[in-house]
Amino acid sequence: MVSGAASPQEVERSWRTPSRAWYSVIVLSLVSMMSNIDRGIVNLLVGPMKRDLHLTDSEISLLIGATFSIAYVFLSFPLSRLADTRSRKVILTTGLTLWSFATMLCGLAQALWQLFAARALVGAAESVKGPCSMSMIADLVPHEKLPRAFAIFQLGITGGMAGALVVGGLLLTLFSGLPPLYLPGGIVVHDWHLVLLATGFPGLLLAAVMAMTVREPARRDRTDHDGVPLREVARFLGKHWQFYLPLFAGIAIASIESYGLQAWRPAFFDRSYGWRPERIGPLLGGAILVATPLGLYLGTLVAEYLTRRRPQDALVLSCLIAYGLAMPLFAIMPLMPDPWAALALAFFGFTAWSMSAPGQNAAIQIVTPNAMRGQVSALYLFSISVVGGGFGPTAIALITDHVFRDEAMLRYAMATFSLIVGPLVLLSIASAVRPYRAAYRQMQGSPRPWPDTIDNPTSQRRVACSG
């Protein structure tokens, strides 16, 4: 039975308590922030890890990206179906507890394979975050408020990216110079181990807060009490592939660039300008902390402005504008002769990139039926976390190792990569504008934009979608 399926009376009552709904959105944003801190903290630890475990750039890239992403993809789809039928709060709280614990296990790893195993557990547990959070947010606030709600949620994502740099830099500064700790069982704890141990613990506290204070929201625009069969999800996606395929492809390619640059940006500042992780971490993190809310605010204004004038395709157009601004900035940033100029361009790139999130997230939820949101969100997040997170760090590492054959040439590998993928992103998302317009019209004009009946051996049930 669907957890939280709403009656009309429950929906009406829930709209009357917006403060509780927005509190839940904020907590979900904090959960997202913790996941991105736990995921991204290793980006700042490349140097110390290479030093103590004698690793290459390619091995580090696999640890950052592929190990996390492979585990993520194996569990994201089955768990996303649970998010459409069971308590999303319980699933998400359990996942938060597990990935926080796994991050602390990384802080005890003594060999590369142990780091791989712990990072895989982080990826597996974090696979529940997106489907559960995005589905809950779509049920917490009215559709016209979704860009704002997803701006808050995105603030947690990019705030976590920034937090990984700021917190990591501060903790490295705090722990640097400490002699290794020798624990029973032959465990040696270096400074980067201590950073990982300290990073994982707050997530356990946040899991307790969420368990005690956040309620499972009522599922809106939905009358069915069982999950939609997988064949119906596939049929719906097949019917609207002209929208979902190019949008998800564009987002995936953009995420390859984003995760690749994010993973290697601290090392770039170190190798190109001599700024150590302890210095560049807080500076990059501070830039993201300022640029992200600014970009989300501007992105929300653009999305809402366009929605008032052309609601049928405004949200996808707002994404296209944001990526069009961000891509050139990221391409020329590594080529700057001065570190402060590179940091300034990174700041403006972060701002433009963040502008895409409110419209992008809201667009997908608005044209996706409630009963399928968790599963479609899993596909969306697959394009970001698995494709982007899995291939981005390794793609740049391979260019550095095998094209330029010199780690000091990292800056040119980053610029080359951005120049290749940027036009592909813009072409893909531009091709999704017209199909989104058609999907939007169909969702607004029809109570059932996917097949009316679900085949069932005992009954034929009509399934209502979100509109």
19 or 349: whose pLDDT is higher? 349
**Does residue 467 lie within any of the structural domains?**
no
Name the band, by pLDDT with cuts 50, 70 and 90, for residue 462: very low
The structure tokens 């830099």 sit at 169
Q: What is the DSSP letter of 450?
A: S
In the predicted model, is pLDDT for residue 453 greater than 60? Answer: no
Q: State the Cα–Cα distance between residues 100 and 95, nearest whole angstrom.
A: 8
Q: State the Cα–Cα distance between residues 277 and 195, nearest whole angstrom.
A: 13
**Does residue 294 lie within any of the structural domains?**
yes
| pLDDT tens per residue across span 7-36 | 444 545 554 467 888 999 999 999 999 988
Q: What is the DSSP letter of 128?
A: T
**Does residue 323 lie within any of the structural domains?**
yes
Q: Which of 33-42, 71-80, 373-382, 454-463 has the lowest mean pLDDT?
A: 454-463
**Does residue 3 lie within any of the structural domains?**
no
Name the band, by pLDDT with cuts 50, 70 and 90, for residue 286: confident
Query: Which of these, 230, 246, 147, lies nearest to 450 by C-alpha position?
Result: 230
Most confident of 85-94, 158-167, 436-445: 85-94
Burial profile 32-54: b = 16 or more Cβ within 10 angstroms, e = fewer: bbbbbbbbbbbbbbbbbbeebbe
| pLDDT tens per residue across span 310-332 | 888 888 999 999 999 999 999 99
Number of domains the chain contains: 1
Helix (H, G, I), strand (E, B) or coil at 226: coil
371 or 413: whose pLDDT is higher? 413
Q: Judge whether 83 and 374 are in contact, CB under 8 Å.
A: yes
Q: State the Cα–Cα distance between residues 230 and 293, nearest whole angstrom.
A: 37
3-state helix, strand, coil split of the chain in percent (to 5) is 80, 5, 20
Residue 451, CA atoms < 13 Å, CB-side half-sphere: 17
Q: What is the DSSP letter of 183?
A: E
Name the band, by pLDDT with cuts 50, 70 and 90, for residue 448: very low
Percent of the chain with pLDDT over 90: 21
Q: What is the DSSP letter of 372?
A: G
| Alpha helices for 54-179 (secondary structure H) | 57-61, 67-83, 88-106, 112-126, 129-140, 146-175
Query: Which of these, 253, 293, 278, 269, lies nearest to 429 by C-alpha position?
Result: 253
Q: State the Cα–Cα distance between residues 31 and 375, nearest whole angstrom.
A: 20
**CATH number of the domain bearing residue 324:** 1.20.1250.20
Q: State the Cα–Cα distance between residues 14 and 139, nearest whole angstrom.
A: 10
E strand or H helix at 300? helix 277-309
Residue 271, CA atoms < 13 Å, CB-side half-sphere: 20
Q: What is the DSSP letter of 121?
A: H
Q: Judge whether 267 and 47 are in contact, CB under 8 Å.
A: yes
**Does residue 285 lie within any of the structural domains?**
yes
Name the band, by pLDDT with cuts 50, 70 and 90, for residue 467: very low
The count of other CB atoms within 10 Å of the CB of residue 289 is: 20
| pLDDT tens per residue across span 383-424 | 776 677 667 777 888 888 888 888 888 899 999 999 988 899
Question: Which residues are bridge partners to 188 per DSSP?
Answer: 182
Domain that includes residue 132, residue range? 8-462
Q: What are the angstrom distances between the C-alpha of 23 and each of 17, 90, 139, 153, 203?
A: 10, 17, 14, 12, 18
**Does residue 1 lie within any of the structural domains?**
no
In the predicted model, is pLDDT for residue 457 greater than 50? Answer: no
In the predicted model, is pLDDT for residue 373 greater than 50? Answer: yes
Phi, psi at residue 461, to the nearest 5°?
A: -110, 140
**Does residue 62 lie within any of the structural domains?**
yes
**Does residue 24 lie within any of the structural domains?**
yes
